[in-house]
Amino acid sequence: MNGNIIVAIGLMSFGSLTSGSIKISMTIARKRKNAMTLVRRRKNAMTLARRRKERKTIVSLVKNTDTLAVIAKD
């Protein structure tokens, strides 16, 4: 969050294209990282559920709580 604010201030004061592109690339990288983390967590949740031989309802509950955690974190 702080990095984003600093880049936005740089963009306003200098008005350069590079500051804007850095801000965009930072945002894209962060979104990609979050998406990858979500996929990894879902895979882990699924494999854990399979190992324990739990029902599908429990797997979906794990998925839902995982998604909520990621949204809250962002």
Task: Give the torsion sign (CA, 41, 47, 49, 54).
Answer: positive
- The 10s digit of each residue's pLDDT in 32-49 is 777 778 788 877 777 776
Sequence ranges of the domains in the chain? 2-73
The pTM of this model reads 0.29
Compute and round to an integer the Cα radius of gyration of the chain: 18
Helix (H) or strand (E) holding 47: helix 17-52
Q: In 3D, which of 44, 43, 42, 49 has the Cα closest to residue 68?
A: 42
- The 10s digit of each residue's pLDDT in 7-37 is 444 444 444 455 556 666 777 777 777 777 8
What is the b/e burial string over 25-38, where b = at least 16 CB atoms within 10 angstroms of the residue's CB? Answer: eeeeeeeeeeeeeb
